[in-house]
Amino acid sequence: MNVLLLYPRYPVTFWSFKYALKFVGKKTAFPPLSLLTVASMLPDDWNIRLLDLNIKNLFDREDLQWADVVMVSAMLVQKESADQVLERCARLGKTTIAGGPLFTALHEEYTGLVDHLILGEAELTLPLFLEDFSEGRALPIYRSEEFPALTETPIPRWDLIRTKDYASMMVQYSRGCPFNCEFCDVTTLFGHKPRLKKPEQFIAELQSIYDQGWRGSVFVVDDNFIGNKKAIKEMLPGVVEWMERHDHPFTLFTEASINIAEDDELIDLMVRAGFDNVFIGIETPSEESLKECSKTQNVKQDLVASIQKLQGRGLAVMGGYIVGFDHDDETIFSRQIKFIQESGVVTAMVGLLQALPNTRLWYRLKEQGRLADSATGNNTDGTLNFTPVMNRETLVQGYRNLVKTLYSPKQFHERLTRFLENYEKPDFFKKTPSLRQFGAFFKSIFYLGILGNGISQWYYWKTVVKAAVRYRSAFVETITLMIYGYHFRKVAEKIYRNTLSERESVPS
């Protein structure tokens, strides 16, 4: 049987890094880890192909004609592309199997449109489906209310992709988060108790990527890598040893909660293991809004001091921020700018609050009669799926002005300078730049230093000279961040151009 694993297109967001890819000669940022893992669970006698629509256009391919079965995995933000894929499969009469966060959250919408829905985590539901499918009695829906152990999760099928098409590889160590943020769907999908792979599993996955010839960035995609600190501390020494034995072939980055800053031992272990970046949901400087959304771990911290501590220990911080909480008033936009500038978080990802399906926020707003359309999963597209306390037009226009200001050349340069003043690069990261890094630098000269507009050109050269003279050890990081800044500025410009068409989705 011919089986096509199909990954829908990802829209342009801060996380897509679309506009930065040309600097490093890559086609997309991240591979479809979910489908690569599912591929390892499928029968050995199935003929498998993987088509990533972020790499190749479906309409230019004959894979659908080849396939007997099409398996689709997607996140909520990929819904538009997923719907197009499923529509075409239906026209061609293809059997469709779908799973992942999109279909788990909105399964009622896809009942009847997809032949077989595999909901929740595949370790539990996929084997049941495969057994029934092989006997010709597969059901329309498979689901489980339980959360599987990850100790038997297989190594992804990296042979199904060309790793050189991607800017970063991906691995996963845990699922679940101990916190209870009102707007977050992680606990809805994966529970509050972090479930972990065995340390040897994680190292085996690093080895499998290494054996594919990959050298460079690896994203550890846990929603909260430090959800179980004790287990992480027991696992990381093995990663440190593996990294040292292989001459640090990877730089790692992940997502974590701000309480990482409380634990010096954990920070040291992560840096020694090769982590140089961490994404943290910082959200807002408003304590009232943090309490509103149950982000208690942030209330307990001096957020700016925590961020600067991490930067000073070698962990650059990528920050997630939100506007649109019930306690936000019209001052939140200037407060966010001041807060982000003071912290030196260069890659600040600011979005509008969205009520994601089945979150506590979603249920609260539904009960209050404030819920409108389904969330898009893209908190940068200027849309709201609920009625905010703040005037809707004021909120959306304030958000647009906020991102435009944050990624203007002046503010971005000031933030980058603040970061460089705080950042201390670990010695083992101070290597001769790779050919790809040299190439990215020369492309940055062309695109940013020569083709950029006057004000952005001036700040580009000012930053390059400053880094070369005062922050030489962090020169590679400086160029990388300026390339990210170019991408973020393009996204901010796109956000700013969006028209205010929200009123149509507001309940009367």
Mean pLDDT computed over every residue of the chain: 94
Binning pLDDT at 50, 70 and 90, where does residue 504 land? very low
Tell me the mean pLDDT in the region 232-237: 98
Tokens of residue 65, six digits: 């004609």
In sequence order, which residues have a C-beta less than 8 Å from that of residue 252 and are 6 or more positions away? 217, 218, 219, 220, 273, 274, 275, 276
DSSP 379-442: TTSS--SB--SS-HHHHHHHHHHHHHHHTSHHHHHHHHHHHHHH----GGG--PPPHHHHHHHH
pLDDT at 453: 85
Tell me the mean pLDDT in the region 415-438: 89
pLDDT higher than threshold 50 for residue 501: no
Domains, the chain: 2-142 (3.40.50.280), 168-352 (3.20.20.70)
pLDDT at 499: 43
Binning pLDDT at 50, 70 and 90, where does residue 507 land? very low
In degrees and rounded to multiples of 5, residue 235 shows phi and psi of: -85, -40
In the Cβ-directed half-sphere of 206, how many Cα atoms lie within 13 Å?
29
- Tell me the C-alpha distance between 281 and 255, whole Å: 8
Q: Beta strands 195-196 and 174-175: pairing type?
A: antiparallel
192 conformational bin, left if phi > 0, alpha if psi -120 to 50, beta if neither: alpha
Q: 279: which strand partners?
A: 255, 318
pLDDT at 431: 80
Give the model confidence (pLDDT) of 96-105 as tens digits. 999 999 999 9
pLDDT at 281: 97
Give the model confidence (pLDDT) of 288-329 as tens digits. 999 999 999 999 889 999 999 999 999 999 999 999 999 999
pLDDT at 216: 94
Better pLDDT: 399 or 434:
399
In degrees and rounded to multiples of 5, residue 185 shows phi and psi of: -100, 5
pLDDT at 428: 73
Tell me the mean pLDDT in the region 344-367: 96
Write out the H or E segment, with its range, that includes residue 456.
helix 454-470
Lowest mean pLDDT among 123-127, 420-424, 425-429: 425-429
pLDDT at 373: 77
Give the model confidence (pLDDT) of 40-93 as tens digits. 999 999 999 999 999 998 877 788 999 999 999 999 999 999 999 999 999 999
* Of the candidates 462, 350, 480, the residue with the CA atom closest to the CA atom of residue 425: 480
pLDDT at 505: 42
Tokens of residue 102, six digits: 């999109």
* Of the candidates 317, 312, 322, 233, the residue with the CA atom closest to the CA atom of residue 269: 233
In the Cβ-directed half-sphere of 436, how many Cα atoms lie within 13 Å?
14
- Tell me the C-alpha distance between 217 and 250, whole Å: 6
Give the model confidence (pLDDT) of 173-208 as tens digits. 999 999 999 999 999 999 999 999 999 999 999 999
pLDDT at 506: 39
Q: How far is CA 106 from CA 114, 348, 358, in A?
A: 12, 30, 9
Tell me the mean pLDDT in the region 214-242: 97
Looking at the chain, the whole-number percentage of residues with pLDDT higher than 90 is 90
